[in-house]
Amino acid sequence: MRLRGHHLFCTALFSGHGYSETFTEKMTHLTKQLRAGEKLTVIVGADEVCAACPNRTSEGGCALSSEDVEKRDRAALRVLRLAPAEELTWEEAKSRLSRLTEQEFQAVCGGCRWQEEGLCSLFLLRQAVSNEN
């Protein structure tokens, strides 16, 4: 499964909220696949989650700002110490997510709508990954 960098954070913090019903169904399905052991390949750019998102543009970009979401992808790869196209398991991703500092978390998620709505924070991220173990 190809997953854009910042979607590792969204996947860990996903609690059933999304941009549309189709999007939420897709996220639910993908998170189950990952937790069942399917490997992921981390990328910068549109992925399988974007494919089910109403914000995806006909050119394959993101209506919320391709530049902004790609900046978040690159920040995610940097703070998780991953290279583009690197393959990992969800267990490995959780281990990396659990070690983040507040500054590293904000470099990826700062200013995002879902954080502003109170659905995402470093505290919730740590709780989510430790509750899965």
Cβ atoms of 90 and 129 within 8 Å: the answer is no
> What does 48-77 look like in DSSP terms, one character per residue?
HHHHT-TTB-TTS-BTTTHHHHHHHHHHHH
Q: With contacts defined by CB under 6 A, how many residues of the chain interact with ligand SF4?
A: 8
Measured over all CA atoms, what is the biggest interatomic distance in the chain, rounded to whole angstroms? 39
Is there binding between residue 77 and ligand SF4 (CB under 6 A)? no
Using the rule CB under 6 A, give the single segment among 36-44, 45-53, 99-107, 116-124 that binds ligand SF4. 45-53
Among 24, 31, 33, 55, binds ligand SF4 (CB under 6 A): 55
State the Cα–Cα distance between residues 25 and 17, nearest whole angstrom: 10
Closer to ligand SF4 by Cβ: residue 58 or 131: 58
Closer to ligand SF4 by Cβ: residue 67 or 91: 67
Among 3, 34, 44, 62, binds ligand SF4 (CB under 6 A): 62
Is there binding between residue 1 and ligand SF4 (CB under 6 A)? no
Both tokens assigned to 96: 């990396």
